[in-house]
């Protein structure tokens, strides 16, 4: 069973601060996806990383995939109240033959205070 440890679980910061969320595993993932979810809504895909060492930027968000494809980080620069939400990392891999599944981390609940 593949496990993803996500930290921190809760984060409350002031507008303008920077933050980093981490996802770590002892397993190798073929891809890793980051989602953001607002209360009562479905997760929205932010980015997919597939290559070890890959770095992707989405405005103030920077995503990195570890060289060994076992870990990933999400860095937010100058956080804004609109960044508030549940951030989920999800690692992709095969389970039992050709069935591809996502393994989700427990999520980071981010609150950005104005």
Partner 1 sequence: DTEVTQTPKHLVMGMTNKKSLKCEQHMGHRAMYWYKQKAKKPPELMFVYSYEKLSINESVPSRFSPECPNSSLLNLHLHALQPEDSALYLCASSQRTSGGSSSYEQYFGPGTRLTVT
Interface residues toward partner 1, by CB under 8 A: 30-31, 33, 35, 40-45, 48, 50, 86, 88, 90, 92, 94-95, 98-102, 104-107, 109
Residue 95 CB, shortest distance to partner 1, in Å, is 7
**What are 45's two structure tokens?**
């895909």
| 8 Å CB contact between 53 and 67 | yes
Closer to partner 1 at the Cβ: 18 or 24?
Answer: 24
Closer to partner 1 at the Cβ: 33 or 83?
Answer: 33
C-alpha distances out from residue 69 to 46, 49, 66, 76, 98, Å: 18, 9, 5, 21, 20
């Amino acid at each position: 069973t593949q496990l993803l440890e996500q930290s921190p679980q809760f984060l409350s910061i002031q507008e303008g601060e920077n933050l980093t969320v981490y996802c770590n595993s002892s397993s190798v993932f073929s891809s890793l996806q980051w989602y953001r979810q607002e209360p009562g809504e479905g997760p929205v895909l932010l980015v997919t990383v597939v290559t070890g060492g890959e770095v992707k930027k989405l405005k103030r968000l920077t995503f990195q995939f570890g060289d060994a494809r076992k870990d990933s980080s999400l860095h937010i620069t100058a956080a804004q109240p609109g960044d508030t939400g549940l951030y989920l990392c999800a690692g992709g891999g095969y389970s039992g033959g050709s069935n591809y599944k996502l393994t989700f981390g427990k999520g980071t609940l981010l609150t950005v205070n104005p």
